[in-house]
Amino acid sequence: MENTVSTEQSDSTTLNINDVLYASETNTPAWLSNFINIYQQLNTENLELLNEIYAQDIEFSDPMHKIVGLENLHDYFANLYTNLSSCHFMIIETLCEGDGAAIYWSMEFSHKQLNKGKPVTVEGHSHIKRTQGKVYFHRDYIDVGAMLYEHIPVVGKVIKAIKARAAK
């Protein structure tokens, strides 16, 4: 089965993920293509691939975690992938300037304790910086409510009500 990305265009075009990641017309630098390719492969059996893209002193953060050091990042990913039934990233867009990049993505994951085990989809983006061929800074931006809190019984209803009221 091929991985695909559905674009948000009015013509509902569907692209093969390899077209998005590696098409020469995107001018995606090799280091960024390699980073994305490795992320698409990650699972509990191949976390050593993190060594190929991250510096020893990596600073990784998201709204719930701040992790410093490659060994700690390995532990984080091992725990993350062990607790998920599935996790898949669809790359929407990449922007690159020199040794920095922004990656816009959609993540679909399943966790037995969230959303009754059904897949949850949430959009986010990552800001990464590299030096000497490896990423030393990685910051994820994501709506934790949409990812987590909205899918917890009782709490989810409260969060959705708050968001609905704030939108008025």
Structural domains counted in the chain? 1
Any domain includes 154? no
pLDDT tens, position by position, 76-129 = 988 877 777 777 788 889 999 999 999 998 887 777 766 666 877 888 999 999
Any domain includes 99? yes
Q: What CATH number corresponds to the domain at position 81?
A: 3.10.450.50
pLDDT tens, position by position, 23-34 = 344 578 999 999
Tokens 């949850």 correspond to what residue? 120
Give the Cβ contact number of residue 129 at 10 Å. Answer: 15
Please, which pLDDT band fits residue 2 given cuts at 50, 70 and 90?
very low
Q: Give the pairing of strands 134-142 and 54-62.
A: parallel
- Contact call for residues 89 and 107 (beta carbons, < 8 A): yes
Supply the pTM of this predicted model.
0.71
- Boundaries of domain holding 51: 4-143
Any domain includes 150? no
Any domain includes 155? no
Any domain includes 116? yes
Any domain includes 16? yes
